[in-house]
Chain A
Amino acid sequence: MVRIDFNRLRFLVIDDNAHMRRILRTLLHGFGAREVYEAEDGAAGLEAFTHYIPDIVITDWAMPIFDGLELMQMIRQPGANANPYVAIIMLTGHSEKKRVTAARDAGVTEFLAKPISAKGLYQRIINVVANPRPFIKTKTYFGPDRRRNTNSNYIGPERRKGGKADVIRQTPLLEKARAPV
Chain B
Amino acid sequence: MRRSKETAAIVTYGDHEVITPENKLRGAVTKVAAGGDNEDPVARAEKALAKLSPEFDSWMDSECDRLDKARRDLLTDFNPANKEALFHAAHDIKGEAATFGYPALAVAAESLCRLIEHTPEATHIPPRLVDQHVDAVRAIYREYAKSDAKKLAARLTKRLREVTDDFLMQKNRNRPEVLEQLGGPSIVPE
Q: List residues of B (31-90) whose CB comes within 8 Å of A's CBs.
A: 31-34, 36-37, 39, 41-42, 44-49, 51-52, 55, 59, 63, 87-88
Q: Are B99 and A23 in contact (CB under 8 A)?
A: yes
Would A2 and B30 count as touching, CB distance under 8 A?
Answer: yes
A130 at the interface (CB under 8 A from B): yes
Q: Which range holds the interface residue count of chain A?
A: 35 or more
Q: Which residues of A contact B184 (CB under 8 A)?
A: 96-98
Assess whether B95 is in contact with A20, with CB atoms less than 8 Å apart: yes
Task: Give, as a whole number of angstroms, the nearest-CB distance from B137 to chain A.
Answer: 14
CB distance from B186 to the nearest CB of A (A): 4
A30-B44, A30-B45 in contact; A9/B32 too (CB < 8 A)? Answer: no
Q: Say if the beta carbon of A137 comes within 8 Å of chain B.
A: yes
> Does B1 count as interface, using CB distance less than 8 angstroms?
no
Residues from chain A with a CB closer than 8 A to the CB of B95 are 20, 92-93, 114-116
CB distance from A110 to the nearest CB of B (A): 13
With contacts A17-B92, A30-B49, A93-B91 taken as known, whether A3 is within 8 angstroms of B17 at the C-beta atoms is no
Distance (Å) between the CB of B164 and the closest chain A CB? 15
Asked whether any CB of chain A lies closer than 8 Å to the CB of B98, the reply is yes
Closest chain-A Cβ to B190's Cβ sits at a distance in Å of 9
Q: Does A166 interact with chain B (Cβ within 8 Å)?
A: yes
**B20 within 8 A of partner (CB):** yes
Expressed in whole angstroms, the Cα–Cα distance for A126 and B162 within the complex equals 40
Q: Say what secondary structure dominates the interface of chain A.
A: mixed
Please report the C-alpha to C-alpha distance between residue A174 and residue B37 in the assembled complex, in whole angstroms: 31
Query: Which residues of chain A have C-beta atoms less than 8 A from B28's C-beta?
Result: 4-6, 8-9, 55, 129
Contacts of A129 in B (CB 8 A): 25, 28-29
- CA–CA, A138 and B18, complex, Å: 9
Contact for B48 among A26, A95, A138, A145, CB less than 8 A: A26
Q: How big is the B interface, by class?
A: 35 or more
Cβ of B48: which chain A residues have Cβ within 8 Å of it?
26-27, 29-30
Contacts of A118 in B (CB 8 A): 42, 45-46, 49
Q: Name the residue in A85, A100, A138, A179 with the highest tally of chain B Cβ atoms < 10 Å from its Cβ.
A: A85
**Among listed B8-16, B125-133, B141-149, B150-158, interface-contacting one:** B8-16
Q: Which of A1, A19, A95, A132 has the most CB of B within 10 A?
A: A19
| Contact in complex: B41, A31 (CB < 8 Å) | yes
Listed in ascending order, the chain A residues whose CB lies under 8 Å from chain B are: 1-6, 8-9, 17, 19-20, 22-23, 26-32, 55-56, 62, 85, 87, 92-98, 100, 113-116, 118-119, 121-122, 128-130, 132, 134-139, 145, 160-163, 165-166, 174, 177-181
Q: Which residues of B are at the interface with A, using a C-beta cutoff of 8 A?
A: 6, 8, 13-21, 23-25, 27-34, 36-37, 39, 41-42, 44-49, 51-52, 55, 59, 63, 87-88, 91-92, 94-99, 103, 106, 110, 113, 181, 184-189
Given A98-B181, A138-B17, A139-B15, 4 other A-B contacts at CB below 8 A?
A1-B34, A3-B32, A26-B49, A85-B19
Sampled A-B contacts (24; CB under 8 Å): A1-B33, A9-B25, A9-B28, A23-B99, A26-B48, A26-B52, A27-B45, A27-B48, A28-B45, A30-B48, A31-B44, A31-B45, A96-B186, A113-B188, A114-B94, A116-B99, A121-B45, A129-B25, A134-B19, A134-B20, A138-B16, A163-B14, A165-B18, A177-B187
